[in-house]
Every structure is written in C-alpha cells, then in structure tokens.
Structure 1
Amino acid sequence: MNITREHIDDLNAVVKVAIAKEDYNDKVEKVLNDYRKNANIPGFRKGHVPMGLVKKQYGKAVLVDEVNKLLQDALNKYLTEEKLDVLGNPLPKPQDNLDWDSDEFSFEFELGLVPNFDIELQSKKPLTHYNIVAGDKMIEEQIERIQKQYGKLFAKDVVEENHEVTGVFVNEEKEINNRTTFTLDKIKGKKNLEKFIGAKVGDILTLKTKNLFKDDHDLMHHLSVSHEDVHDLDIEVTFTIDESNEREKAELNQELFDKLFGKDNVKSVDELKAKIKEDAEKQFVQQSDQKLLNDVTEYLIENTKFDLPAGFLKKWIQQTGENNLTEEQASEEYEKSEKGLRYQLIEGKVMDENKLTVTYDELKEGAKNYVKMQMLQFGQTNPEEKVVEDIASRVLSNNEEAKRLSEQIMSQKLVNLYKEKANLKTKEVTYEEFVKEVYG
C-alpha cells in the first residue's frame, strides 16, 4: 500500500491511496473460506461447496467490503501518524470508472485542513468584568418577600388594595380556564385596580387582557397561555373572586431566622441582611462570569482572523448531511454554522495552548456537587457521602449528562483563564444597574 499527499494550498490537500492485491488478498480469502464452511447452497453438503462457486456468488461483495475497510483503517492511521488537523472527514473523489476486476486500486480523498492562526487575549481596549453587588434596596425587598412568605393570611370578604386575591380567569373562545393567585400590586393602571378594590368574594369581574398586568409574563402565568400567544393578546376575560386575603408580615425574630437558616446561624436583622447579601452575590458571580465569557468569545471571534476551506466545507455539508442538499442549501447551512465553527477552532486552540483539560476526578466532583444541589432543593441538607457518590456515578454513566458537566467545568476554566490573562477592567454595579446596562 502506498499513501501520498499533495497540498493544493494551505487549507486544502488531496491524499492518494494505492492498494495492491497483496494488501487485501489474504483477508478476502479468509472471509470466503468462512463463507464456504457455513454456506447452505442446494445440491452441496455444508462445508463442501466449491470455492469457485463461492467466489462467483460472494467474491465481488467481499472484495469491495474488505478493500473499503482497509482503505478506512489506512486513512485514519495516516492522518494520526502525520498529525494532520482536518475539518470534517476526508471526502472521496468520485470514480465512475473504478474496475473491481483489477488487482490494484487507487483512491483519492479531499482534505480540508485546519488553518494556522494566533490568538491574542490582550485586547487593546479593556473588556468590562462586572462585580455585581446586592444593594440596600434589593436586600430590603428580599426581607419584605420573606416576611410575606412566612406571614399569616387572614380571609376577608371585601377586596382591599393590599390584598392578594385568588380566583379563576375564563375565556371560552381561547379555552382559558385557570385558577390563580396574585397580589394587587401586579395589576396595571388605576381603572383596572378600581375594578378589584371594593369587590366581594363571589363577584365576577369583566376585564381586558391588554395592559391588565404590569408584566406580560405575569399575564402569561395567570391566564396559563403560551409565550407566543401572550404578546399583543387583547381579549375580554372574566375573573371570579374565590378568596381575598390580607397577609400579615412575619416578625423578624429568632424563630424566623432559625426557620430560614438553622438554629442560631443568624441572630439579628443585621446578620440577616449580611446573609441575604452573601447568598445573592454568590448567584451574581455566575451571571457576571457568563457575561465575561460571552464578551471574550465575541472579542476572539471578531479579532482572530483566519480563512477556512469554505469550498471543501460546503461540499462536505452537502454530501454528509442526513438529507440530500443542493449547492445553494449547503452554502446556506455553511453560512449559519461558520461563526460557531470559528469559535470551536479558537476555543480548541486556547485550551491546547493553556493545557486546559477536564480530569475524571474533576468530573466526579462536579457530579457530586450537582447531586448535592438537587438534594438541597428537596430539603436534604446533609446527605450521606456514599449516597451522593452512588447517585453521581449514575449521573456520569449517562453520556449526555457527563458531557454537559464536562462542558460546564471547562467553561469555568476558560472564565478563570480570561480573568487571569485577558485585558479587563472591573466595574462594580448593583444587580439593577447590571440588568439595565447589559440588557437595556
């Protein structure tokens, strides 16, 4: 067997594979002998079928199969030994005149090569790394939510402004029939609010959905309609009042603190505020890190310039997809995927140059932390280590879950690398300022 390579340019090459009879003959003969031993052909005892008949019936198919296996193995070995970084898979060049009756065969494969490029993490203009803090307003609002959540409800016959009401929204045409509870501070506009205030339990209110709630997501939730349907929804609904309750806020005392954080872990309002601030800012780190990762990703894509073997990739998309694509469709698919492919190459080089890998121990620890978080949501604050280990092992046995966890760990490693090596400026903002600045 002889394999040669011709470089068309920096991004494209052709590999030629020449296969002689001595490369495949022994394997073909072995398979045919096995066929002969097991073949059931009328008129012949099993194992006594003439080899000439076996070759006539199966020889061509076996030859094609064995040559293709040999070809694939040789090509994969060649790419590995030559350390060729390729995009997609080698594409066989069409051979309409291939003669399978010949003893020697020659095949050609097109290769799309990974481009050479340099990565510069130090941008000329520093990227913003947000340090998100919990402001006094957020802390006070959280304390009020806690007091309401753990407070007592007192049933009332007449709705007042500070009440929360429970009832059923109905619209037969849109098949809306949803029982829900909300506080009147969610209602938008004085006219809508006036319909509720003074109404009695059992009353049926007629309301317009447009501008009924301050937030469309509240309208979606309380009417139980889809995200697509809720926008520009302008219909008439009835609301039957089942309950009207006044909520008395819970006192900020040791009983409440113990209920929230365990015995004597928080002993004063100041400690409560500090705990709320600490917990909130831990969550904010994740959002800040995600924003940093997104910004560095965009910077790298925009500022890391290299060409791709576009012609090869379009042909590869056209020939290897599940559905047969035209050249135009393949070009459209390439345009959609080009940005993602560029970042895959950039990210791969960043990881390679900085020796970033995910070890099994890291993956196992990540799975255990994931399991503990899940168990915490169900009130299991101190699970046995063996139980956690067993569940984590089951999680990692699921390839999709293992891949997801691995990607999360690698994303965090990339974030840590960018914090260390990228040109960043830290900006301290409250969560409200962060949302306004980032999302508008």
Structure 2
Amino acid sequence: MNITKENVDALNAVVKVEISAADYQDKVDAILVDYRKKADIPGFRKGQVPMGMIKKQYGKSVMIDEVNKLLQDSLNNYLVEEKLDILGNPLPKMQDDFNWEADDYAFEFELGLAPEFDVKLDAKKKITKYDIVADTELLDKEVANIQKRFGKIIPQETVVEGAAIAGTFVNEEKELEKKSTIELDSIKGKVNKKKFLGAKVGDVIELKTKGLFDDDHKLMGALGMSHDEIHGLEIPLTFTIEEINITELSEVNQELFDKVFGPDVVKSEEELREKIKEDAEKQFQTQADQQLLNAVTEYLVENTKFDLPAEFLKKWLAVSGENPMTPEQAAAEYEKSEKGLRYQLIEGKVLKDNDIKLDFQELKDFTKGFVKAQMAQYGQVNPEEKELDDIVTRVLSNQEEAKRLQEQLVSQKLLNFYKEAITFKVKEVNYEEFVKEVYK
C-alpha cells in the first residue's frame, strides 16, 4: 500500500491511497475459509461446500468490505501520523473509470486544511470591561421590595394607588383567557391608570395590549405568551377584577432581617444594604463576565485574519448531514456557520499557544460546584459528599451534559486567561446603564 499527499494550495490537498491485492487478499481468504466452515447450503454437508462456490457467492462483497476497512484505517492513521490539521472530513473524489473487477485500486480524497495564523491579544482599540455596581437607587428599591415581600396584605374595596389587582384577561378572537395579578404601578399611561383607579371587584375594564405596561416582559407574564407572540401584538382586552389588595410594608427591624437571612445574620439596616449590595454585585459579575467574553470573542473574530478552504467546506456541508443539501443550501449554511468556525479555530489556537488544558478531575470539581449550586436553590445546602459524587457521576455519564459542562469550564478558563492577558478599558456603571449600553 502507498499513500501520498499533493498540496493544491495552502488550504487544500489531495491524498491518494493505492491498495494492491497483496494488502487485502490474505484477510479475504481467511474470511472466506471461515464462511466455508459455517456455510449451510442444501446438498452439501456443513464445512464441505466447495471453495469455488463460496468465492462466487461471497468473494466480491467480502473483498469490497475489506478494501473499504483497510482504506478507512490507513487514511485515518496517515492523518494522525502526519499530524494533518484538517477541517471537516476527507471527501472522496469520484472516479468515472473505477472498476471493482481489478486487483489494484487507487482512491483519492480531498482535504480541507486548517489555516496557520497568529492570535494577537494586544487590542489596538481597547475592549470595554464593565464593573457593575449596586448604586443607592437600586439598594433603596431592593429594601422596599423586601419590605413589601414580607409585608401585610390588606384587602381593598376599590383600586387605589399601589394596589395589586387580581383578575382575568380575555380576548375571544385569540381564545385568550388568563388569570393574572398585576401591579397598578406597572400600568403605563394616565389614561390606562384612570380606568383602574376607583374600580371595584366585578368591574370589567376595556384595554389594549399596545402600551399597556411599562415593560413588554410584564405583558408576556400577564397574558402567558412567549416573546415572539407578544412582539407587535395589538389586540383589545377585557380585564375582570376579582381581588384588590395593598401591601402594608414591613418595618425595617430585626424581625425582618431574621426572616430574610436567618437569625442574627444581619443586625442593622446598614448591614442589610451591604448584604443586598454584595449579593446583587455577585449576580452582576456573572452578566459582566459573559458580556466580556462575548466582546473578546467578537474582537478576535473581527481582527484575526485568515482564509478558510471555503469551497471544500461547502462541498463537505452538502454531504455530511443526515439530509444532503443542494450547493445553494450548503453555501447558505456555510455563511451562517463561518463565524462560529472561525472562533473555534481561534479558541483552539489560544488554548494550544498558552498551554491551557482541561483534565477530568477539573471537570468533576466544576460539575460538583454546579450540582451544589443547584441543590442549594432547593434548600439542600449541605449535601453529603457521597451523594454529590454519585450525582456528578450520573451527570458526566450523559455525553451531551458532559460536553455542555466542559464547554462552560473551557469558557471560564479562557475568560480568566483573557482577564490576565488583555488590557481593558474599565468602565464603572450601574445595572441600568449596563443594560442600555450592552443591549441597546
């Protein structure tokens, strides 16, 4: 057997695999002998069927099967031994004059080669790293929310300022009938609020979805609809009032502190606000980190220039999935996936060049932390180590879940690396400013 590679250009190559009868015949003969031993053909005793009959019946299919196995194994071994960094999988070149009746065969495969490039982390235009702080306004709101959450509910005869109103939204055309509780303070516009103020239980209020709430996400919750269903929705509604309440705010005292955080964890309003600030900024940090990773990703994709074997990849996409694509469909799919492929290559280069590795113990520890955090949400704050280990083992035995967690861990490692390796423009903002700048 002989394998050779011819470079078409820097990103494309053709590998030729030549197989002769000497490479596969012994294996084919051994299989046919075994077939003869087991063959059960009428008119012949078991094991006594003439070899000529066995070869005539099975010889070609066994030979084709063995040649294909040999071809696949030799090609895979060649790619590994030559350390060829390829994209996609080798594509067999069609041969019009190919003949399985011959003894010797030559197969050709197209390869798409990964480009060579350098990743520069010294950004000319500095990437913004947001430091989100919990400002006084947010702390005031959170203290008020806690007071309200642990406050006393007082039924009302009519809707007054600050009321919570339970009722049913109806639109017959959309077959909508949804029970909801809404806050009067979340209703948008003087005209809409005027319809509610002074209304009693049993009153039916006519409304329109457009501009009803100060935030469309509240409309989603009130009507039980998805983001796509709510987008651009303009329909009339009726709202039948069923219950009206106001909440008398809880006093800011030790009883409230103990209800929120447990006995004697917080002992003053100052400590309460500090605890709220600490918890809020932990949550903000997660969002700021994700935004930073996204910003670095965008920067690297935009500023790391290299060519890809585009035509090869389009051909590969056309045949690699469960359902073959037309050239036009493959080209469209390539356009959608090119950016993701570029970042995969960049990410791999960063990991390799900076010796950022991931071992199984790290993945187990990361998964354990993930499981503990989930259990804590359901009140299980001190699980036993054996229980944790058993859950981690089950989670990582699921290939999809293991892959997802591995990707999260790699992203975390990259983020930590980027924070050390890149000089950012640091900007301190409150949460509202962060949302306006990032999500616009």
TM-score interval, smaller chain: over 0.9
Greater shift in the superposed pair: 418-427 or 61-70 = 418-427
Partner amino acid, structure 1, of 2:348: G
What TM-score do you get using the length of structure 1 for normalisation? 0.97
* Structure 1 pair 93–28 and aligned structure 2 pair: CA distance change class (3 A): same
1:235 offset after TM fit, Å? Answer: 2.1
State the match for 2:127 in structure 1: 127
Task: For 2:84 and 2:309, locate their aligned partners in 1 and report how far apart those are by CA, in whole Å.
Answer: 15
Classify the secondary structure of the residue corresponding to 2:140. Answer: helix
Task: For 1:47 and 1:142, locate their aligned partners in 2 and report how far apart those are by CA, in whole Å.
Answer: 86
1:210 offset after TM fit, Å? Answer: 2.0
8 Å contact kept, 1:14–1:108:
yes
8 Å contact kept, 1:176–1:224:
no
State the match for 1:73 in structure 2: 73
State the match for 2:384 in structure 1: 384
State the match for 1:143 in structure 2: 143
State the match for 1:395 in structure 2: 395
State the match for 2:118 in structure 1: 118
State the match for 2:190 in structure 1: 190
Task: For 1:437 and 1:226, locate their aligned partners in 2 and report how far apart those are by CA, in whole Å.
Answer: 25
Task: For 2:241 and 2:221, locate their aligned partners in 1 and report how far apart those are by CA, in whole Å.
Answer: 17
Task: For 1:327 and 1:209, locate their aligned partners in 2 and report how far apart those are by CA, in whole Å.
Answer: 45
8 Å contact kept, 1:300–1:346:
yes
Task: For 2:389 and 2:259, locate their aligned partners in 1 and report how far apart those are by CA, in whole Å.
Answer: 29
**Is 1:95 the equivalent of 2:114?**
no
Greater shift in the superposed pair: 232-241 or 413-422 = 232-241
Task: For 1:327 and 1:234, locate their aligned partners in 2 and report how far apart those are by CA, in whole Å.
Answer: 41
Unaligned runs of 5+ in 1: none
Partner amino acid, structure 1, of 2:90: P
State the match for 1:303 in structure 2: 303
Task: For 1:283 and 1:364, locate their aligned partners in 2 and report how far apart those are by CA, in whole Å.
Answer: 24
State the match for 2:152 in structure 1: 152
Task: For 1:295 and 1:428, locate their aligned partners in 2 and report how far apart those are by CA, in whole Å.
Answer: 16
Task: For 2:48 and 2:42, locate their aligned partners in 1 and report how far apart those are by CA, in whole Å.
Answer: 11
State the match for 2:312 in structure 1: 312
Greater shift in the superposed pair: 220-229 or 136-145 = 220-229
1:25 offset after TM fit, Å? Answer: 1.0
Task: For 1:226 and 1:347, locate their aligned partners in 2 and report how far apart those are by CA, in whole Å.
Answer: 34
Task: For 1:118 and 1:150, locate their aligned partners in 2 and report how far apart those are by CA, in whole Å.
Answer: 57
What TM-score do you get using the length of structure 2 for normalisation? 0.97
8 Å contact kept, 1:317–1:330:
yes
Task: For 1:299 and 1:413, locate their aligned partners in 2 and report how far apart those are by CA, in whole Å.
Answer: 18
Unaligned runs of 5+ in 2: none
8 Å contact kept, 1:125–1:423:
no
Task: For 1:29 and 1:262, locate their aligned partners in 2 and report how far apart those are by CA, in whole Å.
Answer: 79
Greater shift in the superposed pair: 319-328 or 428-437 = 319-328
Greater shift in the superposed pair: 40-49 or 388-397 = 40-49
1:147 offset after TM fit, Å? Answer: 1.0
1:336 offset after TM fit, Å? Answer: 1.7
Classify the secondary structure of the residue corresponding to 2:166. Answer: strand
Which deviations, in whole Å up to 9, do the C-alpha atoms of 1:193-215 show, x marking residues without a partner? 11111111122222222222122
Greater shift in the superposed pair: 208-217 or 159-168 = 208-217
- The 5-angstrom pairing of residues 112-261 of structure 1 reads 112-261=112-261
Classify the secondary structure of the residue corresponding to 1:325. Answer: coil
Task: For 1:12 and 1:196, locate their aligned partners in 2 and report how far apart those are by CA, in whole Å.
Answer: 70
1:293 offset after TM fit, Å? Answer: 1.0
1:15 offset after TM fit, Å? Answer: 1.0
